[in-house]
Amino acid sequence: MAQKSMQDLFNEELEDLYDAEKQIVKALPKVAEAVESEELRNALEEHLEQTKQHVTRLEQVFQSIGREAKAKKCEGMKGLLEEGENVISELDKSPVRDAALIAAAQKVEHYEISGYGTLRTFAQLLGHDEAVELLEETLEEEKEADEKLTDIAESEINIEAAEGEEGEEMEGEEEAAGGVSGRGGSSAQGSQSRGGNSSAKSTPTKKKAPKTSTAGHRSSGR
């Protein structure tokens, strides 16, 4: 087992976050295209441009510590972005899909906030002052992006998604009520038809009239 220093740990976390940001740059255009809300789409497109700046800023962090920019595959971000892809493939374009994509996007933001916060703290301990400033700037932008997603969800998307659910429930109840009424009518009509046929057959001649009268009482009793 290799012995690692705090600088080694900083380098690895930096490489991980660098790859994470590059994955996000590739994924965001598809997510923005998949949403129904124009406000949400604009926010995602704006954050895409911001994320491109984050990639550049991380390259400046590498440069500030005298290292070449290098990406280490970030499996955590890969998994989070796959969740968003599943939402797009499983749900139709609607407020519900938008709400689910905001939830997926905020998981990504929280991963980044954690990553940048950790890197900034490590940079402070190691005396990488320039890196601290660069990482702090991006950290604040990630927090703002997360808050913006929350605002959009609470002021628009979640409300519309919930109202859509209520509308579907009401439609389902109306359809169920209509079905019950229709079956009742059919049953009544069938009963009347059978009663009419039975009555017609029971009185072919006047001689059998007494039996008809008896059958009529049994029918009424039922």
pLDDT at 162: 94
Q: Is residue 203 part of a domain?
A: no
Q: Is residue 211 part of a domain?
A: no
pLDDT at 201: 41
| CA-CA-CA-CA torsion sign (100, 105, 109, 110) | positive
Cα angle 55, 50, 146; round to 5: 110
Residue 101 near residue 153 (C-beta atoms within 8 A) = no
pLDDT at 43: 97
Low-confidence ranges of the chain (pLDDT < 50): 180-222
User: Taking Cα atoms as reference points, which of 44, 47, 19 lies closest to residue 30?
Assistant: 44
Residue 14, domain extent? 6-163
- What domain count does the chain have? 1
Q: Is residue 91 part of a domain?
A: yes
Residue 44: CA count within 13 A, CB half-sphere: 26
pLDDT at 155: 93
CA distance 96 to 35: 10
Cβ neighbourhood burial of 37 (10 Å; 0-12, 13-18, 19+)? buried
pLDDT at 3: 77
Cβ neighbourhood burial of 63 (10 Å; 0-12, 13-18, 19+)? middle
pLDDT at 168: 55
pLDDT at 191: 40
Q: Is residue 131 part of a domain?
A: yes
pLDDT at 199: 39
pLDDT at 5: 96
Q: Is residue 220 part of a domain?
A: no
Q: Is residue 208 part of a domain?
A: no
Return the residue matching tokens 């690895």.
12
Q: Is residue 21 part of a domain?
A: yes
Q: Is residue 184 part of a domain?
A: no
Counts of helices then strands in the chain (DSSP H, E): 7, 0
**What CATH number has the domain bearing residue 123?**
1.20.1260.10
pLDDT at 175: 57
